A and B are shown apart, each in its own frame.
Chain A
Amino acid sequence: MNDWAAQVLQGDRRALARVLTWVENAAAEGRAAWQALFPHAGRAHIVGVTGPPGAGKSTLVAALVQHWRQHHPQQRVAVLAVDPSSPYTGGALLGDRVRLTPRLAQDPAVFFRSMASRGAVGGLAQATEQAVQVLDAAGYNPIFVETVGAGQAEVDIMRLAHTVLVVQAPGLGDDIQAIKAGMLEIAHILVVNKADRPDAQRTRRILEEMLRLGPRRAAAWQPPVLLTVATTGQGVPQVAQAIVAHRQHLQRSGAWQQHEARRLQAALERALRDALWRRWRARVEPGRYDAVLQALARRELTPDQAAAQLLDDAPTLPTPPPRGDAGSP
């Protein structure tokens, strides 16, 4: 067994932090550890927490972790907080840790990691998924993943998390506009945080109304709309209960296993696309790629025709899957 992986499995938090860095950087030195840890993952309940900036996601996550540590003291809990990188500089300000209480910040059964999206399409990188699995292998359960709700990130969090909490707060601009339909559709639990503010009940009614008007859901799970004051912990036990209830619902209905299978299949397809791309790129005749690229730039070829020409050059290669979006050089 890989030394680093062994240390992670024994509970060494420094080794865990280092393996997370390698996974995040897709660093070659972490590959062996990742392979050794992979069989140990697949147990944790992954809880996504998303919503607009300032809604109180980080504060709520801290309150939930606190609740878990009090009521399930045998469980170790992890948080992965993902914030966007600047598209211009690549830098990021990762401030979610501010909401950890001193007690949680020093709790040896709590592991909190901040992650920048690093220009990944959608904000939830492949690295995030691997980081979650490393935390899972290390024995953390549940694992909370905080992301800013925006566009593609919603789809990503739905794929990654078993249970998605969408957090809203009254007074974040115009209510109806702030609550995007896409966010509602991915929510298993809706939280109206800042219930100490006026208009919280109104926000809740709007959400309930939108849920009624929204698309009918296949499974029997009806998303509850819960009020919280994350800063005082009010309503947090109810959210924790809903999280557990949703996990039990998934496990009873078989959706848990389906989710896992879908996620692994997506990972396999991604790995296949990457591998096929790399293999093909290594074999393509030098200069040939550039020549076709230039023909494309002169608009003598469409991208589809250009791809077909390049693939015809090496007819022995397997045809890549239709959505070959594995990137360009």
Chain B
Amino acid sequence: MTATSRPIRVLIAKPGLDGHDRGAKIVARALRDAGMEVIYTGLRQTPEMIAEAALQEDVDVVGLSILSGAHMTLVPQVLEALRARGLGDVPVIVGGIIPPQDVPKLLALGVYKVYGPGAPTRQIVADIEAVVRGSAQPEGSPA
């Protein structure tokens, strides 16, 4: 297998305390069906656990699903935990229930893309492929 044809590896994690992972699982399956290798970590992951998983799994992208409303607390913590491990350059995408006024704030923190509940998985796939294969436009295009 050549370096260019190797599958993209994505971590899908659910930080925080909310107990629903349907959305995360739908995205995980869509990414798998698009030929990606998706490491799914389950519910109630701390930022440290997520960053540790990203490190050990050497993923290309970290996806966070947050429905609890705590994204403005959790996302900076995950980004910090990633940076602390030298993983500051790993693109992070955030999906879930994110009020529109928070989207630019998340993007300013360094999040690559933010997706609302109705975001087409096609778009998520295309964005991930773009950033990993190296033709991304980092300016956010929130759904």
Contacts and interface: CB of A to CB of B under 8 A. Distances in A.
B49 A106 contact: yes
Contacts of B37: 85, 91-92, 94, 114, 116
B129 to A, nearest CB: 12
A91 B36 contact: yes
Given A25-B6, A97-B42, A116-B7, A89 B34 contact: yes
B58 A27 contact: no
Contact of A94 (B2, B6, B35, B40): B40
A28 B3 CA distance: 9
Contact of A13 (B32, B35, B55): B55
Interface string B1-37: 1110011010000000000000000001101111111
A178 interface: no
Interface size class of B (residues with CB under 8 A): 20 to 34
Interface residues of A, number: 32
A226 B56 CA distance: 32
A91 B52 contact: no
Contacts of B2: 25
Given A14-B86, A17-B57, A26-B1, A97 B39 contact: yes
Interface string A77-120: 00000000110011111110110001001100001111010100
B74 interface: no
Interface of B: 1-3, 6-7, 9, 28-29, 31-42, 45-46, 48-49, 52-53, 55-58, 85-87
19 contacts: A14-B55, A18-B58, A25-B6, A26-B1, A27-B6, A28-B3, A85-B7, A85-B37, A86-B32, A90-B7, A91-B37, A93-B28, A93-B32, A94-B37, A105-B41, A113-B57, A114-B39, A116-B37, A118-B1
Q: Top 3 closest A-B pairs, CB basis?
A: A98-B42, A91-B32, A17-B58
